[in-house]
Amino acid sequence: SDLLAGGRRLATVHDLFACLSLSGKIALPRPPRYREPLIRESIFQLKRMHHLLCDSKYTADCAVRELEFPASRITVLPIHLRALFRPPTPVERRAARAKWFSDAEHVVLHVGKPSSYKNRPGVIKSFRTVKSRIPSARLFLVHGPGTPEELALVREFGLDDSINFLPPLKTTELPQVYGAADVFVFPSVFEGFGWPPIEAMACGCPVVCTRGGALGEVVGDAARTVDDPFDSKTIGEAVVEVLASHEVARQLREQGLRRVEIYRPERILPQMADVYRMLLGN
């Protein structure tokens, strides 16, 4: 949050995940008890703000509904996309593919921590459908080793040779894996915004994702979207459609590149400056 002239307070709100999980209004585990005082204090402080900047309309609606914050004192403004997320040249793509994916013929990519709301087990379950239709497909999950639950699913489905867990990558490395993959899958249960699908689009990678939280709003019609994050069969079939059809992949790639233009800094930063000027009375 920022303290501006005249004691005005401005806070940027990415999501109200903790508030929703504490109240039981999303189907995910409650936060640990030791975090509850911090969550309640955060809610108290947000209610005292003069203005909120929310990453998405979904988050803004949550603030109005859950915090009873006046809609007239909220501005919806996403964080801008960094310039390093761009499509690779053919030479860059070949090099990145060899570096990260070796000799994989069809690459399915996921980027996300093993947090419950990211639904990484759902990625593995959907890949089971992909593998049954496209045996040469391989899945790469970025952000550290698999959890016991995830590794148990890999063994249960007999996918040990087809699924790779990559370590957390540097920000400068992420565009390489996005740009070298054939399709990006993101079956998240909840997002206050959802950067990975937008980053993938910016790097020219077709996206399959859910509509959890703000995701549907953020990706628009530039991705194949599925309503139910736990419908792994439908998610897998959407991934198969992208891998099996050059035309579908091309269309999603083009739609994604058009979509990300609304998140460029030259569009976002002037709007942010307008909010500051409004609050400062300039």
C-alpha 225/C-alpha 218 separation (Å) is 11
Q: Which residue in 198, 204, 152 sits closest to 176, CA to CA? A: 204
C-alpha 218/C-alpha 93 separation (Å) is 26
Q: Tokens 């079939």 label which residue? A: 237
Alpha helices in 85-213 (DSSP H): 90-101, 120-133, 148-156, 174-180, 195-202
Tokens of 244: 């099996």
Close Cβ partners of 58 (under 8 Å, ≥ 6 residues apart): 192, 213, 214, 217
109: β partners: 140, 184
245 by DSSP, 3-state: which?
A: coil
Please tell me whether the overall predicted TM-score, pTM, comes out greater than 0.75 for this model.
yes
Tokens of 139: 């899945």
Beta strands in 125-261 (DSSP E): 137-142, 163-166, 183-186, 207-210, 224-226
Tokens of 185: 């899958």
The alpha carbon of 210 is separated from its chain's Cα centroid by a whole number of angstroms, namely 10
Mind listing the pLDDT tens digit for each residue in 47-93?
Answer: 999 999 999 999 999 999 999 999 999 999 998 999 999 999 999 99
Using alpha carbons only, what angle is made at residue 145 by residues 215 and 189, rounded to the nearest 5 degrees? 20
Element (H, E) at 216: helix 215-219
Tell me the pLDDT of the chain (282 aa) as tens digits: 555 656 788 999 999 888 888 777 776 777 788 888 998 999 999 999 999 999 999 999 999 999 999 999 999 999 899 999 999 999 999 999 999 999 999 999 999 999 889 999 999 999 999 999 999 999 999 998 999 999 999 999 999 999 999 999 999 999 999 999 999 999 999 999 999 999 999 999 999 999 999 999 999 999 999 999 999 999 999 999 999 999 999 999 999 999 999 999 999 999 999 998 888 876
Tokens of 32: 């640990």
C-alpha 76/C-alpha 58 separation (Å) is 9
